[in-house]
Amino acid sequence: MRNKLIYFILLSFAFTSMIQSCQNETTINFKRYYVNGKGIYEKNCQNCHGSDGKGLGTLYPPLTDSTYLKLNRNKLACIIKNGQTGPVKINNISYDGIMPGNETLADIDIAQVIVYITNSFGNQQGFYDSEFAKNDLVKCK
């Protein structure tokens, strides 16, 4: 009886530490993506969208429209890689500009910058890894 109890306690310890190490790995990955994504953003995006993601007047749209970002989550990789033209409505304001593509960014860079923008500027949309970017990029029109 006593042995069983000890066995049970040990097992639950092993189990909780297993779950914890999984969570830690996701948290570490998230942080790594976020930090690298910030660097990529500063280099490639900040000029237009601003360090606070608020864009510039009616010229460059802000990245603060969580609904737009959520609805277009699986198109973000294509927007970043290939750019975007044509009318868009962001925070209820119409924009019709030209965003240049970033063809030299690798899948992982794109995923990292997506983690950064979708978890900054008031957005809180969680993790997005390079496999997601790879899958989404196959579907670019």
d(CA 106, CA 7): 48
Minimum separation from the CB atom of position 35 to ligand HEC (A): 16
Any idea how long the chain is? 141
Query: Which of 139, 11, 116 has the alpha carbon at shortest distance from 53?
Result: 116
d(CA 96, CA 80): 16
Among the candidate windows 1-9, 17-25, 54-62, 131-139, which touches ligand HEC by CB under 6 A?
A: 54-62
Among the candidate windows 1-9, 10-18, 73-81, 119-127, which touches ligand HEC by CB under 6 A?
A: 73-81
24 CB burial (10 A radius; 0-12, 13-18, 19+): exposed
Among 33, 60, 121, 132, binds ligand HEC (CB under 6 A): 60
Residue 64: HSE in the Cβ half-sphere, 13 Å Cα cutoff: 16
Residue 88 binding ligand HEC, by CB under 6 A: yes
Residue 65 binding ligand HEC, by CB under 6 A: yes
Among 68, 123, 127, 137, binds ligand HEC (CB under 6 A): 68
Residues that bind ligand HEC (CB under 6 A): 44-45, 47-49, 60-63, 65, 68-69, 76, 79-80, 84-86, 88, 90, 95-100, 102, 113, 117
